[in-house]
Chains A and B, each alone.
Chain A
Amino acid sequence: MNTITVGRKRLDFFFILISFFMIMLIFLVIYVNKTNRDMKDYAIYHKEIKNLSILDQKIENTFLKKYRYIDYDKLQDINHEFQTILKFLDNEKFLYKFDKNLKDKIALLYSAYEQKESLVEEFKATNTRLTNSIHYLYDLHQSIEELNISTDEKRLFLNIFFQIEQLAMDLPNDLTHLQADVDKINQIKQNNKLYDYFYQHTTLFIKDIEILKNILETNERLDLYSTIKNISYGLEKYSTKMHERQYTIFLIFIIFGFLNLVFLIFNYKKIHKLAQDFFTFKYVIKKSENIIIITDKNRKIEYINKTFENKLGYSKKEAIGQQDSLIASDLMSQQTHEDINETLLKGQKWEGELISRKKDGSPIYEKTSIVPITNKGKVQGYLFIKFDRSEYIRRN
């Protein structure tokens, strides 16, 4: 036994495992935090998109209110809400987060909404004119019996009423026939205000119903709803991806965590065994009849056994922390001291006879061996094993 090598390898592996586990834990906390924030943003964004879809439906409902009173104020509030949400959605904070095409999609949404808004305005105006004409025609129809007109003209009037009704109700109708009848009114109107207004209303009605039809057809082609759906779809894709990633990351974490645990258990078992060995050795050293000293690399005393206390008279308290020169005596030559130092510095074991001094000043003859304790070639400390030969020397 020239030197003692201490097994620190196992301990290092343990620290690597623990550090790795800590890093994973920190990463997981950061990840969970970020994901939580992202999901919150996503939830808000998605909710607003849903709201847009509902508002779009409400706006769409306007187009169903043909010939009816429309609550423009309510529509105005809906439009205002729609614009507020649009502004909220068009936020740099979100635009590159959920979908790389989101910016373009929002731009599309803007233009589709503007088109729809102006279509609604056109619808409102046209519908108002149509409804007003219906009011007028209704009034006229009510009072037709009181009008001072010929039976033929009355028949013509009623004929037009009937055809307008067909037109309004989207029933099959013959526009050329209606137009011909209306033109007849134009021919007989002369300067009579009644005929004139009747002619104007019917002509306008035919024109406006065509405009209304165009508005509704244009609206059919408008892709506001599909744009909203498209955005919603993109968001859902993002959400699915997020969930999948979350699942993967948690799975990886669990697998690594489990492996870590297995390693740690093995490690613990080995360390446990080592600890038991250590306790055995410690017991042996403690109970040894030899004087045992363990110092650090600077030869400062770290451990002494009971025999040391008994033979040299120093208590643990007094000895630990002192240099090993505590027990050196001037009975040894300078040459011996240098020899010891030289040998130890080379990392080699020194063996020989030494005379030390007890606490009370009396000498003690010892057969001594000093073994460097190394770890990876570096001296960590020294082990002194001394055997008291004072008795033997005195006897001889």
Chain B
Amino acid sequence: MRFILYFILSFTLLWSKEPISPLETIPYNEQKAQLGKELFSDPIVSQDNTVSCATCHLLSSGGDNDIVFSFGIKGQMGSMNAPTVFNSALNFKQFWDGRAKDLADQAHQVIENPVEMGDNIYDIVKRLRKDKHYPKKFHDIYQEEIAKEHLIEVLVEFERSLITLDAPFDLYLKGESNAISQEAKRGYELFKSKGCVLCHNGRNVGGNLFNRFGIHEANNHSKSLGRYEVTKKEEDKYVFKVPSLRNIELTAPYMHDGRAATLEDAVKIMTEYQLGREMKQEDINAIVEFLKSLTGKLPQILR
């Protein structure tokens, strides 16, 4: 009898578990993160001293920029919309095509991308060693001469500190039933029942899955071939990493190529291309309302 009870109980628990879970901080080293924060906004990491990480990932406005494509050194334009650096430590892979397995890999690739920082990491290390105050700061942490691993590590530690806690929706999940509006609650129900949640779930509401852009309405492919560029497998054409929807209100424009200027557009495009269904305007509005409740507080380190 007890066994049956447990069985039923475990089943109900299973069903009652929400597909989205609230954010929690991840452990990071404060001293390293602070140094990483300084380097994040310092153009010393680019070849001609014009571009810093913060050029594309504005820390004051959602961790990304407001333009479709970002500019690297010598005014060169990139080909992808810059994703937010907030909560990026939770993504299962980095970049839209997932070519970096973690943040360290990502930072390295950006620094050496000719269109972005256009630099060689060893040259940056040389510049940092000659700098007035960086050698001391690095030495305080590592007790040795600056190495590329140190540079990458402090940047990664900083990024690990960028978790946006206490979004209204997270508070709602934790039991504060008045944290979000009635409309947002309806939006969440639609988000679950219409299928959005199948891709956008977990702690980061996405960022843990690849899928094809334009499953339906197949004529609206992007120029970028996505993951195909990495794997060269035919089935990976137009496949991208499903992005996180956290702080989505702050990270316009949307999609890998920035084709949607507003959240409403973005939801509309997603329902047509990905879900393959028509959605009533009022439902779209409700989902937008829900998405807005995913905006968290500015991370402690930036306050």
Please report A residues at the B interface, Cβ cutoff 8 Å: 69, 71-73, 75-76, 79, 118, 121-122, 124-125, 128-129, 131-133, 135-136, 139, 193-194, 197, 200-201, 204, 211
15 A/B residue pairs, CB under 8 Å, sorted by A: A71-B202, A72-B201, A72-B208, A73-B21, A73-B203, A118-B231, A128-B211, A131-B195, A132-B275, A136-B276, A136-B277, A139-B194, A139-B277, A193-B278, A197-B216
Q: Does A76 contact B275, Cβ atoms closer than 8 Å?
A: no
20 new A-B contacts, CB < 8 A, other than A128-B209, A136-B275, A201-B276, are A69-B198, A71-B202, A72-B202, A73-B204, A76-B208, A118-B231, A124-B210, A125-B210, A128-B199, A129-B211, A131-B195, A132-B215, A132-B276, A133-B276, A135-B195, A135-B198, A136-B277, A197-B277, A197-B278, A204-B276
A75 to B231 alpha-carbon distance, docked (Å):
21
Is B235 part of the contact surface with A, judged by Cβ < 8 Å? yes
Q: Does B209 contact A72, Cβ atoms closer than 8 Å?
A: yes
Q: Which one of B198, B204, B209, B210 lies within 8 Å of A132 (CB-CB)?
A: B198
A76 to B208 alpha-carbon distance, docked (Å):
7
Closest CB pairs A-B (n = 4): A73-B202, A72-B208, A132-B195, A135-B195
Q: Which one of A76, A135, A197 lies within 8 Å of B193 (CB-CB)?
A: A135
Is B78 part of the contact surface with A, judged by Cβ < 8 Å? no
> Which residue of A73, A118, A124, A211 has the most chain B CB atoms within 10 A of its CB atom?
A73
A/B pair count, beta carbons within 8 Å: 73
Q: Does B195 contact A125, Cβ atoms closer than 8 Å?
A: no
Contacts of B195 in A (CB 8 A): 131-132, 135-136
Within 8 A of A (CB), among B5-61: 19, 21
In the complex, what's the smallest C-beta–C-beta distance from A196 to chain B, in angstroms?
Answer: 9
Q: Does A72 contact B211, Cβ atoms closer than 8 Å?
A: no
A61 to B19 alpha-carbon distance, docked (Å):
18
Q: Does A124 contact B193, Cβ atoms closer than 8 Å?
A: no
Q: Does B19 contact A69, Cβ atoms closer than 8 Å?
A: yes
> Which residue of B203, B204, B211, B212 has the most chain A CB atoms within 10 A of its CB atom?
B211
A133 to B208 alpha-carbon distance, docked (Å):
20
A139 to B276 alpha-carbon distance, docked (Å):
12
Contacts of A132 in B (CB 8 A): 195, 198, 215, 274-276
Is B284 part of the contact surface with A, judged by Cβ < 8 Å? no
The secondary structure that dominates the A interface is helix
Is B239 part of the contact surface with A, judged by Cβ < 8 Å? yes
A194 to B197 alpha-carbon distance, docked (Å):
23
Q: Which one of A76, A128, A133 lies within 8 Å of B92 (CB-CB)?
A: A76
In the complex, what's the smallest C-beta–C-beta distance from A210 to chain B, in angstroms?
Answer: 12
A200 to B92 alpha-carbon distance, docked (Å):
30
A69 to B199 alpha-carbon distance, docked (Å):
9
Q: Does A73 contact B208, Cβ atoms closer than 8 Å?
A: yes
- Per-position binary interface string of chain B over residues 267-283, scored 1 when its CB falls under 8 Å from any chain A CB and 0 otherwise: 00000001111100000
Q: Does A125 contact B239, Cβ atoms closer than 8 Å?
A: yes
Q: Does B216 contact A200, Cβ atoms closer than 8 Å?
A: yes
Q: Does B198 contact A204, Cβ atoms closer than 8 Å?
A: no
Contacts of B210 in A (CB 8 A): 121, 124-125
Asked, given contacts A69-B19, A136-B277, whether A128 binds B198 with beta carbons under 8 Å apart, the answer is yes
Nearest to B212 among chain A residues (CB) is: A125
Q: Does B216 contact A131, Cβ atoms closer than 8 Å?
A: no
Q: Does A69 contact B215, Cβ atoms closer than 8 Å?
A: no
Q: Does B235 contact A122, Cβ atoms closer than 8 Å?
A: yes
In the complex, what's the smallest C-beta–C-beta distance from B91 to chain A, in angstroms?
Answer: 9
Contacts of B211 in A (CB 8 A): 125, 128-129
- Per-position binary interface string of chain B over residues 183-204, scored 1 when its CB falls under 8 Å from any chain A CB and 0 otherwise: 0000000000111011101111
In the complex, what's the smallest C-beta–C-beta distance from A206 to chain B, in angstroms?
Answer: 14
In the complex, what's the smallest C-beta–C-beta distance from B87 to chain A, in angstroms?
Answer: 12
A131 to B212 alpha-carbon distance, docked (Å):
15
Q: Which one of A118, A128, A200 lies within 8 Å of B276 (CB-CB)?
A: A200
Contacts of B193 in A (CB 8 A): 135
A197 to B275 alpha-carbon distance, docked (Å):
10
Q: Which one of B197, B201, B276 lies within 8 Å of A197 (CB-CB)?
A: B276
In the complex, what's the smallest C-beta–C-beta distance from A149 to chain B, in angstroms?
Answer: 16
Within 8 A of A (CB), among B102-146: none
A73 to B244 alpha-carbon distance, docked (Å):
12
> Which residue of A128, A193, A194 has the most chain B CB atoms within 10 A of its CB atom?
A128
Contacts of A76 in B (CB 8 A): 92, 202, 208
Contacts of A118 in B (CB 8 A): 231
A136 to B215 alpha-carbon distance, docked (Å):
14
Contacts of B198 in A (CB 8 A): 69, 128, 131-132, 135
A102 to B279 alpha-carbon distance, docked (Å):
56
A200 to B215 alpha-carbon distance, docked (Å):
9
In the complex, what's the smallest C-beta–C-beta distance from B299 to chain A, in angstroms?
Answer: 20
Contacts of A122 in B (CB 8 A): 235
Contacts of A71 in B (CB 8 A): 201-202
A120 to B98 alpha-carbon distance, docked (Å):
15
A121 to B208 alpha-carbon distance, docked (Å):
10
- Per-position binary interface string of chain B over residues 162-199, scored 1 when its CB falls under 8 Å from any chain A CB and 0 otherwise: 00000000000000000000000000000001110111
Contacts of A135 in B (CB 8 A): 193-195, 198
In the complex, what's the smallest C-beta–C-beta distance from A255 to chain B, in angstroms?
Answer: 56
A119 to B239 alpha-carbon distance, docked (Å):
14
A205 to B125 alpha-carbon distance, docked (Å):
52
Nearest to B211 among chain A residues (CB) is: A125
Q: Which one of A121, A204, A211 lies within 8 Å of B215 (CB-CB)?
A: A204
> Which residue of B21, B92, B239 has the most chain A CB atoms within 10 A of its CB atom?
B92
In the complex, what's the smallest C-beta–C-beta distance from A152 to chain B, in angstroms?
Answer: 23
In the complex, what's the smallest C-beta–C-beta distance from B11 to chain A, in angstroms?
Answer: 14
Q: Which one of B197, B215, B235, B277 lies within 8 Å of A129 (CB-CB)?
A: B215
A75 to B235 alpha-carbon distance, docked (Å):
22
Q: Does A125 contact B278, Cβ atoms closer than 8 Å?
A: no
Q: Which one of B21, B204, B216 lies within 8 Å of A204 (CB-CB)?
A: B216
Contacts of B201 in A (CB 8 A): 69, 71-73
Nearest to A132 among chain B residues (CB) is: B195
A121 to B230 alpha-carbon distance, docked (Å):
14
Contacts of A211 in B (CB 8 A): 235
Contacts of B203 in A (CB 8 A): 73
In the complex, what's the smallest C-beta–C-beta distance from B16 to chain A, in angstroms?
Answer: 13
Contacts of B92 in A (CB 8 A): 72, 76, 79
A124 to B277 alpha-carbon distance, docked (Å):
21
In the complex, what's the smallest C-beta–C-beta distance from A20 to chain B, in angstroms?
Answer: 52
